[in-house]
Amino acid sequence: MKLNNPKPLLFQSDFDGTITVEDISFLILDEFAKGDWRSILEDYKSSRITVGEFNKRAFALVNEQQTILEDYVINNYQLRPGFKELVEFCAYHSIRFVIISNGLDFYIRAILKHMQMENVQVYSAKTVFGNRHLETEYCSPDGNPIDDGFKESYSRFFIASGYDIIYAGNGASDAPAARLARHAFATDSLKVKMKELGKDFYPFQNLYEI
Per-residue CA distances from 59 to 77, 103, 107 (Å): 19, 11, 13
Return d(Cα 85, Cα 196) in angstroms, integer: 31
Q: Place 132 in a pLDDT band, splitting at 50, 70 and 90.
A: confident
DSSP string, 112-175: HHHTT-TTSEEEEEEEE--TTS-EEE-B-TTS-B-SS-HHHHHHHHHHHTT-EEEEEE-SGGGH
Helix, strand, coil abundance in the chain, percent, nearest 5: 40, 20, 40
CATH classification for the domain delimited by 9-209, as one of 3.40.50.1000, 3.30.70.20, 1.10.260.40, 3.20.20.70: 3.40.50.1000
DSSP label at residue 105: H
How much is the pLDDT for 130? 79
Given a cut of 80, is residue 2 above it in pLDDT? no
Domain boundaries, the chain: 9-209
What's the pLDDT band for 144 if we cut at 50, 70, 90? very high
Instruction: Provide mean pLDDT across the span 42-52.
Output: 94
Q: For the whole model, what pTM was predicted? A: 0.95
